[in-house]
Amino acid sequence: MEKYIIEGGNRLHGEVEISGAKNAVVAIIPATILAKDRCVIENVPNISDVTILFRILRDLGAKVTYLTKNSVEIDTSYIAEPVVPYESSRHLRASYYFLGAFLGRFSEAHVSPPGGCNFGVRPIDQHIKGFEALGAEVTTDYGFIHATAKELFGSHIYLDVVSVGATINIMLAAVKAKGLTILENAAKEPHIVDLANFLNSMGADIRGAGTDVIKIHGVDVLRGTTYSIIPDQIEAGTYMTMAAATGGDVLIKNVIPKHLESITDKLLQAGVEVTEYDDAIRICRNKPLKKVNVKTMPHPGFPTDMQPQMTTLLSIAQGTSIVTEGVWDNRFKYVDELRRMGAKIQVDGKVAVVEGIPELKAAPVKATDLRAGAALLQAALCARGISELEDIHYIERGYEDIIPKLQNLGAKIKKVSTPDSILSQAQ
Ligand code: EPU
């Protein structure tokens, strides 16, 4: 088993470069299926979610070739069967994007995506509503979702809840459907815009991505393209709160400051200095943190994927902050771990009352999901003493080179492997 050992209490300082966006690349990789051709994707982050998607593509018969560390050629010409079995898809929620991509190319899809996750039920009723509106018949059988159509036709679709996944899946299925699809109450996240830009560079006709009405004129053929993934909004946000938590001074490079506005705003309210440049942002703190109330919402609201990191930051602010989770039902599980480090946080349903304390204390803790893992790592970086963080595979799903990036900022962190047998003897 692998874990991180972190000696806390060191100010982060220096520069860090942000990688390509996880939630964009996990949609764009399946989207390459839509062209029976070769695509070159640049700025691909080296994270385990990407490794899993490439394994699925290769199992399907695609050729995936790394040209450089972050640039990959994908040739999906030889994919014949639109099927992803549970053994391949079970480790990744985003494997459900194969449904939309297969429907778009083959008018048929058979995928067995995983069910719930560590922060609540994750229904896909809105994805299915969209596929059906486009003319597909959707059934489930032994965990498989089967979607089939003779032909897909454009349609007027209203999402009952703002869903990133449904917006993406419907765009993938509709891009080659006959006629016009109008998708209302669509999600507006930066990765939605990135996917639309990618598809348009393949020859699609998608307008309005980034607003709540997306119009998709179906086209007959999509061709291969070369495309560079946008920087990761949440990775950047995580380094912002880590810098603030450690009283550091960090220049975060390769970002789109506009994507970070809701995070910047909360950090400014908390008394952190934030300076925006064209494609970089500097975070500096040398005063105590102040309490702030935060509510997560779909973009452009404060992102739910920054909620654990922000709550952790507020646990060492002066005063009591209220954090309300507005997207997921159960995204405060990590708070039990944070309490073991001394945090004073009470959770009631979707609301956390965070009573700031002067300092967190080191402890052995476990990541419960990706962003919770990042938040606990942030807690360990600023806590007094040496912490051990387990279940780090969650963190490595979404943060490229996190150890060298943090070491370069002066953090005392290392990854160690403990043979499972020794651990079980000790238990
Ligand atoms: N929802 C429905 N029905 C649906 C789809 C969603 O009721 O058919 C509900 C969900 O239960 C949730 C809300 O709508 O309460 C929003 O869910 P959404 O579909 O937007 O989430 P997602 O597409 O499954 C993506 C990100 C998540 C991020 C959310 C919200 C990817 C691969 N995942 O999930 O990212 O939290 O959007 O922004 O893009 C992460 O990166 O750590 C992560 C979990």
Tens digits of residue pLDDT in 17-33: 999 999 999 999 999 99
Helices (H), 144-189: 164-174
Q: What is the pTM of this model?
A: 0.96
Task: Label residue 142 by pLDDT band (50, 70, 90).
Answer: confident
Q: Please report the atom of ligand 1 found closest to the CA of residue 126.
A: 8
Does any ligand 1 atom lie closer than 6 A to the CB of residue 328?
A: yes
Q: Can you name the residues that pair with 283 across neighbouring β-strands?
A: 250, 274
Strands (E), 36-174: 38-42, 63-68, 71-75, 83-84, 108-111, 137-141, 144-148, 156-158
427: pLDDT strictly greater than 50: no
Task: Label residue 117 by pLDDT band (50, 70, 90).
Answer: low
Q: What is the mean pLDDT of residues 156-167?
A: 98
CA 258 to ligand 1 center in whole angstroms: 21
Q: What is the mean pLDDT of residues 217-242?
A: 98
Q: Can you name the residues that pair with 417 across neighbouring β-strands?
A: 2
d(CA 129, CA 211) in angstroms, rounded, equals: 20
CA 263 to ligand 1 center in whole angstroms: 19
CA 163 to ligand 1 center in whole angstroms: 6
Task: Label residue 302 by pLDDT band (50, 70, 90).
Answer: very high
Asked if residue 26 lies in contact with residue 50, where contact means CB atoms within 8 angstroms, the answer is yes
Strand-pair category, 386-390 with 2-7: antiparallel
Asked if residue 44 lies in contact with residue 20, where contact means CB atoms within 8 angstroms, the answer is yes
* Cα–chain center distance at 385: 30
Q: Residue 132, exposed/middle/buried by CB under 10 A (0-12, 13-18, 19+)?
A: middle
What's the chain's average pLDDT?
95
SS3 content of the chain, % helix, strand, coil (to 5): 35, 30, 35
Q: Please report the atom of ligand 1 found closest to the CA of residue 22.
A: 41
Q: Looking at residue 380, what is its pLDDT?
A: 98
**Contacting residues for 330 by C-beta, under 8 A, at least 6 apart:** 119, 120
Q: What is the mean pLDDT of residues 400-409?
A: 98
Phi, psi of 169 (to 5 degrees): -60, -40
Does any ligand 1 atom lie closer than 6 A to the CB of residue 43?
A: no
Question: What are the structure tokens assigned to 211, written together?
Answer: 């607003």
- Give the residue numbers annotated as catalytic, written as ranges: 117
Calculate what percentage of the chain has a pLDDT beyond 90. Answer: 91
The CATH code of domain 2-19+231-426 reads: 3.65.10.10
Q: 334-353: per-residue pLDDT in tens?
A: 999 999 999 999 999 999 99
368: pLDDT strictly greater than 80: yes
**Contacting residues for 68 by C-beta, under 8 A, at least 6 apart:** none
Q: Please report the atom of ligand 1 found closest to the CA of residue 165.
A: 23
Task: Label residue 115 by pLDDT band (50, 70, 90).
Answer: low
CA 162 to ligand 1 center in whole angstroms: 9
424: pLDDT strictly greater than 70: no
d(CA 170, CA 193) in angstroms, rounded, equals: 14
Q: Looking at residue 122, what is its pLDDT?
A: 80
Q: What is the mean pLDDT of residues 194-199?
A: 98
Q: Which of 161, 183, 193, 306 to mutate to test ligand 1, by most ligand atoms within 8 A of the CB atom?
A: 161
Strands (E), 185-318: 205-207, 213-217, 226-228, 249-253, 273-276, 280-284, 294-295
CB-based contacts of 49-53 (< 8 A; 24+ apart in sequence):
49/22, 49/25, 49/92, 49/94, 49/397, 49/398, 50/22, 50/25, 50/26, 52/91, 52/92, 52/95, 53/26, 53/29, 53/92, 53/94, 53/95
Phi, psi of 40 (to 5 degrees): -115, 120
**Contacting residues for 265 by C-beta, under 8 A, at least 6 apart:** none
Protein residue with least CA distance to atom 7, ligand 1 = 123
Q: Looking at residue 423, what is its pLDDT?
A: 43
Q: Looking at residue 89, what is its pLDDT?
A: 86
CA 166 to ligand 1 center in whole angstroms: 9
Q: Looking at residue 343, what is its pLDDT?
A: 98
Tell me the longest C-alpha to C-alpha distance in the chain. 64
Does any ligand 1 atom lie closer than 6 A to the CB of residue 161?
A: yes
Does any ligand 1 atom lie closer than 6 A to the CB of residue 164?
A: yes
CA atoms within 13 A on the CB side of 224: 12
Protein residue with least CA distance to atom 2, ligand 1 = 123
422: pLDDT strictly greater than 50: no
CATH fold of 22-228, please? UDP-n-acetylglucosamine1-carboxyvinyl-transferase; Chain (3.65.10)
Does any ligand 1 atom lie closer than 6 A to the CB of residue 166?
A: yes
d(CA 265, CA 153) in angstroms, rounded, equals: 43
419: pLDDT strictly greater than 80: no
In this chain, the answer to whether the domains covering 2-19+231-426 and 22-228 adopt an identical fold is: yes
Task: Label residue 91 by pLDDT band (50, 70, 90).
Answer: confident
Does any ligand 1 atom lie closer than 6 A to the CB of residue 145?
A: no
Strand-pair category, 108-111 with 137-141: unpaired
**Contacting residues for 426 by C-beta, under 8 A, at least 6 apart:** none
Domain ranges of the chain: 2-19+231-426, 22-228
Q: What is the mean pLDDT of residues 62-69?
A: 98
Q: Looking at residue 426, what is its pLDDT?
A: 36
Q: Please report the atom of ligand 1 found closest to the CA of residue 327.
A: 15
What torsion, rounded to 10 degrees, do the Cα atoms 249, 253, 258, 262 define?
-40
Q: Looking at residue 420, what is its pLDDT?
A: 55
Q: Looking at residue 257, what is its pLDDT?
A: 98
Does any ligand 1 atom lie closer than 6 A to the CB of residue 370?
A: yes
